[in-house]
A = this chain, B = another copy of it.
Amino acid sequence: MAAKEHEVLENYITQHNLKITKQRRAVLEAFLASEEHVSAEDLYKIVSVKEPKIGLATVYRTLSLLTESGLAAELDFGDGQKRYEHNYEHDHHDHMICTQCGKIIEFHNPLIEKLQEDVAREHGFEITTHKLDMFGICKDCR
């Protein structure tokens, strides 16, 4: 599957007359190996080990590339920092965020999604994407 994801990025890159570089490969590598919900700073630290000369700006630029190519999705939990999660052949899911320990539980509920579509239709609204975040206390922190 990692192979597939490399392909996705390389296809995107060649289709847009861009170039495959060792920095881009390193960021992709680190992103694929990372847990969900990494920040640019997180990735920068990880990549810096193998690629000490890399600049934070390059990480940001590569993350845009990953997002545009469909490999990554941006998250914003309202703490002033963007996170990124795997988005390739991953089903859509939403998040429960524990405000105590920071743990993030993912879930997917088709019925909720269906109701969203219903509400949207009632308003003549066509949903492109949506985001459902529930903040609270997880079972380990209660």
Q: Roughly how many angstroms separate A48 CA and B140 CA in the complex, as a whole number?
A: 48
Known: A78-B76, A112-B116, A112-B119. A126 touches B132 (CB 8 A): no
Interface residue? A42 (CB, 8 A) = no
Q: Measured between C-beta atoms, what is the minimum distance from A11 to chain B in Å?
A: 26
Main secondary structure of the interface of A (DSSP, over half): strand
Chain A, interface residues (CB within 8 Å), range:
20 to 34
Q: Tell me the chain A residues, 105-129 only, with Cβ under 8 Å from chain B.
A: 105, 107, 109, 111-112, 115-116, 119-120, 123-129
Interface residue? A13 (CB, 8 A) = no
Interface residue? A55 (CB, 8 A) = no
Query: Can you list, as one digit per residue, whether each of A76-115 has a CB less than 8 Å from chain B (1) or not (0)?
Result: 1010000000000000000010110000010101011001
Interface residue? A142 (CB, 8 A) = yes
Residue pair A128, B124 in contact (C-beta under 8 Å):
no
Q: Which residues of chain B come closer than 8 Å to A134, judged between CB atoms?
A: 116, 120, 125, 127, 129-131
